[in-house]
Amino acid sequence: MGQEQQPGRRLVLGAAVLGAAGAAAVGTGGSALADDRSGGRGKDRHGGRLPVPAVVAHRGASGYRPEHTFGSYQLALDMGADVIEQDLVPTKDGHLVCRHENDITATTDVADHPEFAGRKTTKKVDGKDLTGWFTEDFTLAELHTLRAKERIPQTRQRNTLYDGRWEVPLFEDVLKWAHKEGKRRGRPVWLHIETKHPTYFRKLGLELEPRLAKLLRKYGRHREDSPNFVQSFEPSSIQKLKKLVRCPGVCLLDAPASRPWDFVEAGDPRTVADLVKPEGLKWIARFADGIGPVVDLVIPKNPDGSLGEPTTLVRDAHARGLVLHPYTMRNENTFLPADFRRGTDPNAYGDAFGAFSAYFKTGIDGIFTDNPDTGLLAAEDFRSR
C-alpha cells in the first residue's frame, strides 16, 4: 500500500493552496477558486482548478494528428483542451518517451528502417504475445531517428498527411514545452500522465515511477497543487507514485471482467467489477484521488450497441471523494454508441455532441477524447443548458 490519504483530503484541498496559479488556470480571479465551476450542476471536485466537465485531449488531439506527437499536443492546446494526456514507456537507456505502448510498430516508421530489421521480435507483454519493435530495445538516440505515423490510417486517412513529420516525444521535452507554453499563455498547461505496463518494466529493471517522479520534481510538478494528474491501470503504480510525489492520482479501470496486471502478478483475485463496487472504490480512495473508467462502466451498452441506463458508478465514486475521468470519446461512427451513429460509413462522424451530452449528464468530472474541440463545445453546451 502506498502513502494513503483520507477521503475528503483530495483535489478540493488542492484548491485551497493553489493561489494565483490556480486562478489563472481557470482564467478567473482568485475568488473563483471557491466557486462551483460545474455551472451549478453539482459539486466541483477539481476544486476550481479546472472546468467541469474537463476535456482531456487523449494522446493530444489524436483525432486530427498522429497521436503522441508535438503536432497532436500543440493542436490540442491551441484548441483549448483543459488537459493533455501522455502515455509513458521507457527506452533501453532509461528515458521516458510518449507512446501508447512500448510496441512502436503501428505508430512509427520503424519497419522502414533496415538497420533495425533485426530488432523485430516477439514478447509477452502483460500476458499477451506481441510481435514487432519495442521501445525498451532502442536507445533514445536510436528512437529519435524514427518518425511517428498515424495508428489507424483506414479510419483517419487525413491524418496520414502528417506521417513522418514528428519524432517520438521525449517526456522531458513535453515538460519543457508545457512550461514554455504555460508562460506564453499566462496559465499552466495541465497534463494527465499515464505509466504504461509498470510491472512489466519493473521486471526489466526499467522502473517507471522513480523516473517519472524525478522529472516531475525537476520541473516543479510534484506538488498536490501541480497542474497534472498521474494515472495507471495498475493500482500499485499509483501507490508507488504517491510515495514519491503528491500530485493527484487516477486509477484507470478497464472492462468489468478484466484484472489489473499487477493484480494478476500478485495473485490478487479482484477484477474491475470488484473495484467498482462501493468496497472497491473505498479501497481506491485510500491512495488515489480519482478513477478513469472506460465509458461503458458509466453507461453500459445494450446488446445492439446503443446506450443503456447509467450505472451508479458516478454517485458511488463521488461518495468516496473520487473524481471521474472516463475514456474515450471519439467522433467517428465506428467508436460511437449505436444510437449516435449517422449514415453507414464507419469512418464518418456521427452525433458526437449527442454522445458527449449523454455522458456529461451522468455527472462525470471530465472525459478523455480524441476530439478536444468537439468535447469543448459539448462541455460549453452542457454548462449553459
Using an 8 Å Cβ cutoff, are 109 and 164 in contact?
yes
Does 370 contact Ca ion by CB under 5 A? no
Using an 8 Å Cβ cutoff, are 222 and 245 in contact?
yes
Q: CA-CA distance, 227 to 96, in Å (whole number)?
A: 19
Between 194 and 332, whose beta carbon lies closer to Ca ion? 194
Output the smallest distance, CB 197 to Ca ion, in A: 12
Between 44 and 85, whose beta carbon lies closer to Ca ion? 85
Between 26 and 252, whose beta carbon lies closer to ligand G3P? 252
Between 18 and 84, whose beta carbon lies closer to Ca ion? 84
84 is written with which cell numbers?
493533455
Please, which residues have CB within 8 angstroms of residue 166's CB and are 6 or more apart in sequence? 66, 69, 70, 71, 147, 148
Q: CA-CA distance, 166 to 60, in Å (whole number)?
A: 13
Between 18 and 276, whose beta carbon lies closer to ligand G3P? 276
| Segment near Ca ion (CB under 5 A); pick from 82-90, 155-163, 170-178, 211-219 | 82-90
Output the smallest distance, CB 250 to ligand G3P, in A: 8
Output the smallest distance, CB 306 to Ca ion, in A: 26
Output the smallest distance, CB 149 to ligand G3P, in A: 17
Q: Is the dihedral of CA 341, 347, 353, 357 positive or negative?
A: positive
Q: CA-CA distance, 90 to 136, in Å (whole number)?
A: 6
Output the smallest distance, CB 85 to Ca ion, in A: 6
- Report the residue closest to ligand G3P, judged by CB: 327
Using an 8 Å Cβ cutoff, are 76 and 123 in contact?
no
- Report the residue closest to Ca ion, judged by CB: 194
Output the smallest distance, CB 29 to ligand G3P, in A: 32
231 is written with which cell numbers?
494515472
Between 44 and 87, whose beta carbon lies closer to Ca ion? 87
Between 68 and 222, whose beta carbon lies closer to ligand G3P? 68
Give the angle subtended at the CA of 201 by the CAs of 259 and 95, to the nearest 5°. Answer: 135
124 is written with which cell numbers?
509477452
Does 194 contact Ca ion by CB under 5 A? yes
| Segment near Ca ion (CB under 5 A); pick from 151-159, 186-194, 298-306, 317-325 | 186-194
Using an 8 Å Cβ cutoff, are 192 and 85 in contact?
yes
Q: Is the dihedral of CA 42, 47, 48, 51 positive or negative?
A: negative
Between 143 and 252, whose beta carbon lies closer to ligand G3P? 252
Does 87 contact Ca ion by CB under 5 A? yes
Q: CA-CA distance, 60 to 261, in Å (whole number)?
A: 26
Note the residues at the interface with ligand G3P (CB under 6 A). 58, 85, 87, 100, 194, 231, 252, 292, 327-328, 368
Helix axes 235-244, 208-218, angle to 10 degrees: 40
Q: Which does 234 bind (CB under 5 to 8 A by kind): ligand G3P, Ca ion, none?
A: none
Output the smallest distance, CB 252 to ligand G3P, in A: 5
Helix axes 208-218, 171-185, angle to 10 degrees: 30
Output the smallest distance, CB 100 to ligand G3P, in A: 6
| Segment near Ca ion (CB under 5 A); pick from 31-39, 191-199, 301-309, 316-324 | 191-199
Neighbours of 301 (CB within 10 A): 14
Output the smallest distance, CB 85 to ligand G3P, in A: 6
Longest dimension (CA), the chain: 60
Burial class (CB in 10 A: 0-12, 13-18, 19+), 289: buried
| Segment near Ca ion (CB under 5 A); pick from 80-88, 207-215, 313-321, 330-338 | 80-88
| Segment near Ca ion (CB under 5 A); pick from 81-89, 182-190, 235-243, 356-364 | 81-89
Binding footprint of Ca ion on the chain (CB under 5 A):
87, 194
